[in-house]
Chain A
Amino acid sequence: SAVISQKPSRDICQRGTSLTIQCQVDSQVTMMFWYRQQPGQSLTLIATANQGSEATYESGFVIDKFPISRPNLTFSTLTVSNMSPEDSSIYLCSVYGTSTYEQYFGPGTRLTVT
């Protein structure tokens, strides 16, 4: 299984600022996924990031708010822009496992916006 690390593990940010979350995988992968888990809610897919192309965003998520970079096959960043308290969530990146039916997750980044 892939080993996934995320930075930072947690942060407390002021309203109106931006935070960039990094995701590093120990093997080359084509697709990386970014999820959000708001308090008491399920994991929700934000976007799919393919290396060399624009990220694909799910309904309700836009590039201006959540810009994503995918500079190579082992790394991706998600930026949460112009933050508000509603952005307080756990943000997780994931990759496919041995098949596209399974995903492995990073440890998550716990974001609190004050």
Chain B
Amino acid sequence: DQQVKQNSPSLSVQEGRISILNCDYTNSMFDYFLWYKKYPAEGPTFLISISSIKDKNEDGRFTVFLNKSAKHLSLHIVPSQPGDSAVYFCAASENTGNQFYFGTGTSLTVIP
């Protein structure tokens, strides 16, 4: 049973516009959420995270929003750049941090 879901397998955005990637989860015990970016032939690289005690975390062009009541998080990239084109995975864990549950990924294409 998939506990973390990314329902959009792909997304295309014009350069300079906002990219919004969405992620839903089912386990209310999750208290830490992460976004990873993956280029072809490379492993996922950590991008940004958020704890369940917050509803927003910002790092430069990247902002993650968490809506605990809806069990939903989103990653906003603004402005989007062609180098942002990659597969983005969201992940979640419980407070032990040992087991990470990943979504299936969203492939973002930023069009110059």
Contact = CB atoms under 8 A, between A and B. Distances in A.
Nearest to A45: B99
Interface stretch (A14-22, A66-74, A78-86, A93-101): A93-101
Interface string A89-114: 00010101101111111111000000
Q: Majority SS of interface residues in chain A?
A: loop
Contact of A100 (B43, B45, B98, B104): B98
A53 interface: no
Contacts, number: 55
Contacts of A9: 41
A42 B89 contact: yes
Contacts of B45: 104-105
Contacts of B4: 42
Q: Which of B43, B49, B101 has the most CB of A within 10 A?
A: B43
Interface of A: 1, 4, 9, 40-45, 48, 58, 92, 94, 96-97, 99-108
Interface of B: 2, 4, 32, 34, 36, 41-46, 49, 89, 91, 93, 96-105
